[in-house]
């Protein structure tokens, strides 16, 4: 739960550190876009993998457990 008291957006302290640099994000950084890309990219990769394996006979839901792990921020079960 966010407890940020800024009027608009999220402050650098509440957002945390950049995954790329390990430093606090700068004011005005497009953190929403970064988050959207982080969520969307695994889905895109899963889709591409499904198309490249066409005709192999694998169930299209084969990568669904990993997508659920990502959305729920769980450690992969190996």
The pTM score is 0.42
Task: Report phi then psi at 24, rounded to 5.
Answer: -60, 140
pLDDT (0 to 100) of residue 2 = 62
pLDDT (0 to 100) of residue 64 = 75
pLDDT (0 to 100) of residue 78 = 67
Instruction: Say if residues 14 and 20 touch (Cβ distance below 8 Å).
Output: no
- In angstroms, rounded to a whole number, what is the distance separating the alpha carbons of residues 43 and 51? 13
- In tens, the pLDDT along 10-39 reads 788 888 888 778 888 887 888 888 888 888
pLDDT (0 to 100) of residue 53 = 59
Nearest to 27 by CA among 41, 10, 3, 50: 10
Domain ranges in the chain? 12-71
**Alpha-carbon distances of 27 from 33, 44, 74, rounded to whole Å:** 14, 29, 29
Q: Which residues pair with 17 in a beta bridge?
A: 24
- In tens, the pLDDT along 57-73 reads 555 566 677 777 777 87
């Amino acid at each position: 739960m966010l407890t940020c008291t800024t009027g608009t957006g999220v402050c650098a302290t509440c957002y945390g550190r950049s995954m790329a640099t390990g430093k606090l994000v700068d004011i005005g950084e497009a953190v929403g876009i970064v988050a959207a890309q982080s969520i969307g990219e695994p889905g895109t990769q899963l889709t591409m993998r499904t198309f490249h394996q066409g005709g192999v006979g694998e169930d299209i839901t084969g990568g669904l457990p990993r997508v659920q792990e990502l959305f729920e921020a769980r450690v992969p079960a190996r």
